Chains A and B, each alone.
Chain A
Amino acid sequence: MRSRLAPIIGEDGFRILFARSLHRARAEHPWLAREAVSPDNAFSSLTQSFASRPPEQAALGIRALVAHFDDLLHALIGKELAARLLLNPNGPPQRTNQEIDP
């Protein structure tokens, strides 16, 4: 998600969305660690949280986090645009001018 969204909404934009999603997910799964996403230290605390839990519980936590992230994105920019950005953020591999205009 980060690799798809950050080039469009910026690292800051992604970081803020992620922090808000995590805040919501922690209300349901308090064991989730607080995480400050940074380019150098990506999700390290969270990874540790997940590793310290049984796989089923970790999976629930991940699902909750992703679901909140989706909900937030949908609330802010709508389902259609969110899906477009996540699935096909900046289109197929680009071609050169020569290829486009024979």
Chain B
Amino acid sequence: MKKRVPISLLETGVPGLDTILGGGLPEFSFNLLAGSPGAGKTTLAHQIMFSMASPRRRAVYFTVLGEPPMKMLRYQQQFAFFDVDKIGKTVRFVNLASELLKGDLSKVLKTILQEVEATSPGLVFVDSFRSIMLATKGHPRGESELQHFVQELGVHLSSWEATTFLIGEYDPQDQSNPIFTVADGLIWLSQDTYQGSMVRTLEVKKMRGVATLPGQHTLRITAEGIRTFPRAILEARPTRKAKSNLALKRISMGVPRLDEMLGGGLPKGYSVLVAGPSGSGKTIMATEFLAEGVRRGESGVIAAFEKSPGLGLSTALDRMVRTGRVAIVSTRALDLSIDATLHELTEKVRLMKAKRVVIDSLSGFELALAPTYREDFRDSMYRMISVLTTLGVSVLATSELEDRYIDLRFSPYGTAFLTDAIILERYVQLENELRRCVTVVKVRNSDHSKQLREYRIVKGRMVIGEPLAGYEGLLIGQVAPGQPGPALAHGASKSR
């Protein structure tokens, strides 16, 4: 059996990035941190440097034109990761502008290599590398000189056991750029504005020696520094047979008679969509769902997007949150990404060992998302619900339905097929009164009731009454006395 050379993976100190990198950054790799202006390249470089630098792995940061070093130091020290104590001890800054101004790349290379040979840093940063590339433009031997420069730099720094980062703006379309070939790693940062909302992402386009997480991952810059949110990747869901077995275990919804309508409760680990028009009581059902879990000693997590800023939670929900039985995912309106929210949800689920999760509502969630993410909302919801249910939690998501009475819809996003069960709430006009009715539309692999039952909201709780027998067309707003038929049983009937 061949013995492979072990590649040490370095922790980057950037939350989420090691997961995206498949465990960390390969030691002695030659990396490119690229992206548009303002995307966070220099900040990412500094965060990695201050986190990784130690007496055993010292860092040298070469500044080459681009952002003036004074400004860079002024602004970077605003971040929590900037550790003044490390400067001069494990972190060195070296300005190369004068070498470059002389227009001689060999002089720049010589200066970098002299510095590296003299100080043996474990980490080398060159910011911005684009300045070096621009300096060669128009030069008769510019292209070949740049190629030689990059190759020499790559070979020397790896041989001197340095992990290297070249920071700069590059054109991703420029496939012929010699840097792309020489680099072991290519981390791309983007900053896109869409419909007035700005979204930052990070993508590892290439990283030799590790299996990275593909795709664009949400990136946030706060006073703490950069935080990335690895894009949720779906794991294999339980097979149909396994699901059937799961279905044997049921949990109570906390609303009398609703369990009976579901065929004995919601199968554990299922996702259920509660769809209904505004004010029909979806949040009340969601609260009862969490409260029932709390009564049985199960913790819960709620992502509450329904409330307007400043509008408090219901008393029952507030009590559960204050007593620490239910965690609430804080929402930052209008610029959320699905992955950032899912990350917070799954973190809280793990922390609380939660068994029940509520998303209230999908409609509010969609509004809170940055417009960029709204376009693939359905795909994202699929990933979100799948990731949550593979964690073994039961998920209740509410969905606002338009007050349309001429047709029958379950969700405005076509998300109905994503969930294992659907409960529909509806307003009906009966005997000159606006009344509410509820029905179970589907419970995957399970028997359930098909009755329409009237319900009332009494003191903030849902009270389900008798079946609305003797009417037809209730759900499409064309109510007519029903044909006398076999009496409807109150219990469950076979759906398949």
Chain A residues, Cβ within 8 Å of B98: 10-11
- Chain A residues 51-102 with CB under 8 Å of chain B are 76-78, 80-81, 84-85, 87-91, 94-97, 100-101
Chain A residues, Cβ within 8 Å of B88: 84-85, 87-91
Q: Does A42 sit at the interface, judged by CB under 8 A?
A: no
Q: Does B74 sit at the interface, judged by CB under 8 A?
A: yes
A96-B68 CB under 8 A given contacts A10-B98, A11-B98, A101-B56: no
Which interface class (under 10, 10 to 19, 20 to 34, 35 or more) fits A? 20 to 34
Q: Does B97 sit at the interface, judged by CB under 8 A?
A: yes
CA of A101 to CA of B88, assembled, Å: 19
When the two chains form their complex, are residues B92 and A90 in contact, meaning their CB atoms are under 8 A apart? Answer: yes
A8-B74 CB under 8 A given contacts A84-B88, A85-B87, A89-B88: no
When the two chains form their complex, are residues A91 and B89 in contact, meaning their CB atoms are under 8 A apart? Answer: yes
When the two chains form their complex, are residues B56 and A94 in contact, meaning their CB atoms are under 8 A apart? Answer: no
Q: Does B119 sit at the interface, judged by CB under 8 A?
A: yes
CA of A28 to CA of B77, assembled, Å: 32
CA of A78 to CA of B68, assembled, Å: 16
Q: How far is the CB of B432 from chain A (nearest CB, A)?
A: 73
When the two chains form their complex, are residues A7 and B120 in contact, meaning their CB atoms are under 8 A apart? Answer: no
CA of A18 to CA of B2, assembled, Å: 62
Closest B-chain residue to A94, C-beta based? B119
CA of A45 to CA of B336, assembled, Å: 59
A13-B70 CB under 8 A given contacts A8-B93, A78-B77: yes
CA of A92 to CA of B161, assembled, Å: 21
A81-B87 CB under 8 A given contacts A9-B95, A11-B97, A90-B92: yes
Contacting B87 at CB < 8 Å: which of A7, A84, A97?
A84
Q: How far is the CB of A72 from chain B (nearest CB, A)?
A: 10
Contact with A along B57-84 (1 / 0, CB 8 A): 0000001000011100110010000001
Chain B residues, Cβ within 8 Å of A100: 55-56, 120
Q: Does B406 sit at the interface, judged by CB under 8 A?
A: no
When the two chains form their complex, are residues B77 and A97 in contact, meaning their CB atoms are under 8 A apart? Answer: no
Q: How far is the CB of B492 from chain A (nearest CB, A)?
A: 70
CA of A59 to CA of B393, assembled, Å: 76
Closest B-chain residue to A101, C-beta based? B56
- Chain B residues 92-142 with CB under 8 Å of chain A are 92-95, 97-98, 118-120
When the two chains form their complex, are residues A10 and B56 in contact, meaning their CB atoms are under 8 A apart? Answer: no
Chain A residues, Cβ within 8 Å of B68: 9-10, 12-13
When the two chains form their complex, are residues A77 and B74 in contact, meaning their CB atoms are under 8 A apart? Answer: yes
When the two chains form their complex, are residues B84 and A81 in contact, meaning their CB atoms are under 8 A apart? Answer: yes
CA of A97 to CA of B55, assembled, Å: 11
CA of A77 to CA of B93, assembled, Å: 14
When the two chains form their complex, are residues A8 and B69 in contact, meaning their CB atoms are under 8 A apart? Answer: yes
- Chain B residues 26-55 with CB under 8 Å of chain A are 55
A94-B95 CB under 8 A given contacts A81-B84, A81-B87, A84-B87: no
When the two chains form their complex, are residues A91 and B92 in contact, meaning their CB atoms are under 8 A apart? Answer: yes
CA of A77 to CA of B68, assembled, Å: 12
When the two chains form their complex, are residues A10 and B63 in contact, meaning their CB atoms are under 8 A apart? Answer: yes
Contacting B77 at CB < 8 Å: which of A13, A81, A91, A95?
A81
When the two chains form their complex, are residues A13 and B89 in contact, meaning their CB atoms are under 8 A apart? Answer: no
When the two chains form their complex, are residues A7 and B89 in contact, meaning their CB atoms are under 8 A apart? Answer: no
Q: How far is the CB of A101 from chain B (nearest CB, A)?
A: 7
Closest B-chain residue to A84, C-beta based? B87
Chain B residues, Cβ within 8 Å of A78: 74, 77
Chain B residues, Cβ within 8 Å of A97: 120, 161
Closest A-chain residue to B92, C-beta based? A90
When the two chains form their complex, are residues B73 and A77 in contact, meaning their CB atoms are under 8 A apart? Answer: yes
Chain B residues, Cβ within 8 Å of A17: 70
- Chain A residues 1-60 with CB under 8 Å of chain B are 6-13, 17
Chain B residues, Cβ within 8 Å of A13: 68-70, 95
CA of A91 to CA of B68, assembled, Å: 22
Chain A residues, Cβ within 8 Å of B161: 97
Closest A-chain residue to B97, C-beta based? A10
When the two chains form their complex, are residues B69 and A10 in contact, meaning their CB atoms are under 8 A apart? Answer: yes
CA of A85 to CA of B119, assembled, Å: 18
- Chain B residues 239-296 with CB under 8 Å of chain A are none
CA of A7 to CA of B98, assembled, Å: 10
When the two chains form their complex, are residues A9 and B92 in contact, meaning their CB atoms are under 8 A apart? Answer: no
Chain A residues, Cβ within 8 Å of B93: 8, 90
CA of A61 to CA of B120, assembled, Å: 42
When the two chains form their complex, are residues A77 and B118 in contact, meaning their CB atoms are under 8 A apart? Answer: no
Q: How far is the CB of B126 from chain A (nearest CB, A)?
A: 15
- Chain B residues 125-183 with CB under 8 Å of chain A are 161
CA of A6 to CA of B69, assembled, Å: 10
Chain A residues, Cβ within 8 Å of B90: 91
State the B residues within 8 Å of A (CB). Answer: 55-56, 63, 68-70, 73-74, 77, 84, 87-90, 92-95, 97-98, 118-120, 161
State the A residues within 8 Å of B (CB). Answer: 6-13, 17, 76-78, 80-81, 84-85, 87-91, 94-97, 100-101
A-B contact pairs, 10 of them (CB 8 A): A7-B94, A8-B94, A11-B97, A12-B68, A77-B77, A84-B84, A85-B88, A88-B87, A94-B120, A100-B56
Nearest first, the 6 closest Cβ-Cβ pairs linking A and B are A88-B88, A10-B95, A94-B119, A97-B120, A91-B88, A10-B97
